[in-house]
Amino acid sequence: LKGFAQTHKIVMPGVGTTAAIEVLLEDDRPCYLIRNCLSLSEQTSIYQDISCRSKDTDNRSKPCMHPTPKTIIFDGNQSTLKFSGGDNIYNTLIVQTANDVLKKESPQKSHQFLTSACSTEPTTMSAGVIRYHVPNGNFPEHIDHCNDNSWVYLLSLGCSANFVVKGPNSEKQLFRFNSGDVLVFDPSSDAAILHGVTSINGDDFPLDCPEDFQQFRFGVQCRVKMQRQRT
């Protein structure tokens, strides 16, 4: 496995764990992997909201021989939840929590994300969820090609995933994406950040977690378009 370029540990008030930022792909547009970004209570709140909104309520149905990742479908037969502004649990618990950690990462940093997005509120955002079976759940490596000045905040819930990222000028990096971690990255064609899931670890999930966290991995992707900062 390739090492991370930088790691910064930050103790967040009121949180019993230490949030650690790992900056990936330093030779390209950096990805920010925030370890322990959400507490188990916050993770459970997100999952409860997903379950309440989802039309697919039976997560324990017998899997097929070679199960594939399943996109969770919400009311109205929509694969994503769409919000105007930031008054929703996905912004409050995922986006803003990640931003609070990133803003504390290092004031002298000049990364584009830290200087342009952390102090702004979302204008629009969407949230989609993919459920992965243990152990062979995977998602092919791909580039998002989302060119609307948005950023992606990807939360992992449940069993950990073996996740890969690669930039145009960086070597491929494989890491264990744990429950409560958040990956923040630029999804544009220009950034060209390749990413994907290779497999799921069925023996690696939080203690005292919901039953579904012990059987599946859930990838919660928030795609956020930020307000421009006033000058």
Q: What is the rounded average pLDDT of the residues 119-126?
A: 80
* Tens digit of each residue's pLDDT (9 = 90 or more) over 134-186: 999 999 999 999 998 899 999 999 999 999 999 999 999 999 999 999 999 99
- pLDDT higher than 50, residue 65: no
Q: What is the rounded average pLDDT of the residues 194-208?
A: 96
Q: What is the rounded average pLDDT of the residues 113-124?
A: 67
- pLDDT higher than 70, residue 60: no
* Beta sheet of 194-201, edge-to-edge order: 139-142, 194-201, 160-166, 173-177
Strand segments (E) across 15-106: 18-24, 31-35, 70-71, 80-84
Q: Write down the residue that tokens 């899997």 correspond to.
A: 63
Question: What is residue 109's predicted lDDT score, i.e. its pLDDT?
Answer: 54
Contact call for residues 191 and 29 (beta carbons, < 8 A):
yes
Question: What is residue 56's predicted lDDT score, i.e. its pLDDT?
Answer: 61
pTM: 0.86
Contacts with 142 (C-beta within 8 Å, 6 or more apart), sequence order: 194, 195, 196
Question: What is residue 206's predicted lDDT score, i.e. its pLDDT?
Answer: 95
Question: What is residue 15's predicted lDDT score, i.e. its pLDDT?
Answer: 43
Rounded to whole angstroms, the Cα distance separating 52 from 46 reads 10
